[in-house]
Amino acid sequence: MKKSRYNQIANRTRQITDKILWKYNIGWQDYQVQLIIDDFKKQGVLFGTYNFDKGLGVIGSTFCHAGRAKIYVEPMYYEPRQNFTTVHELGHYILHVNENTEDIFDGIKPMNSTTEIEANIVASRLLLPDRCLINALKSDWSYLTICKTFGISQSALFHRLEMDSLVYLRTSKRTAEQGANNLRRRTRDAYRKTAYDFANNLSRRMIEVNSLCTY
């Protein structure tokens, strides 16, 4: 994916999460993705659960018609997975719905397809907005504390850190993976310094590139 497209998606998602933070006048540590879901419900998006045929390998679908959307998620998964699937499908609605056509996003497309990758980017940023990630990194939060506070799985957080490192720090994929791994192990003395440097550099660059004022 081109960095310009990644930044475009990041900016679009940040507009949504910033609106919620300001609307409810909440601090970054009190953010919950349910606020986003409730806001889209008020806009007419319908959310529900559905027991999909396991043979299809589908755990979420989005059905859109004339700009209106119905999002269904398989209920038989642990909460972080359900959270991610819900906002992944919401990502399709935000990025890929054409108001003049009928669209179906059923999860059958390969996960490395462009639309699925883009929906994953939206999902990770709705679960963990830039302002929340930056402040958590600056506050020396542990990897697990970030996951538990914002309801994001460990694997989703890892990929988020990896992608942000590639884009904002312009590292190689190997270095990005090492940075994310160091942060995951930051509670161990051997990784504390490298994890601190990674967190500090990433949060600083995110602020600089996006002209953010954290709060």
Identify whether 177 is part of a domain. Answer: yes
Identify whether 12 is part of a domain. Answer: no
Domain boundary among 87, 110, 127: 127
What's the pLDDT tens digit per position in 187-197?
888 888 999 99
Average confidence (pLDDT) over 98-113: 56
Identify whether 21 is part of a domain. Answer: no
Task: Report the amino acid identity of residue 105.
Answer: F
The separation between the first and the last C-alpha atoms of the chain, rounded to the nearest angstrom, is: 30
Count of alpha carbons within 13 angstroms of residue 14, beta-carbon side: 18
Into how many domains does the chain fold? Answer: 2
Q: How far apart are CA 85 and CA 87, in angstroms?
A: 6
* Structural domain for 108, as ranges: 32-127
User: Whole-prediction pTM value?
Assistant: 0.88
pLDDT for 101 beyond 80: no
Identify whether 178 is part of a domain. Answer: yes
pLDDT for 176: 95
pLDDT for 137 beyond 90: yes
Q: Are residues 99 and 169 in the same domain?
A: no
Identify whether 22 is part of a domain. Answer: no
Identify whether 199 is part of a domain. Answer: yes
Average confidence (pLDDT) over 103-132: 81
Confidence grade of residue 100 (pLDDT, cut at 50, 70, 90):
very low
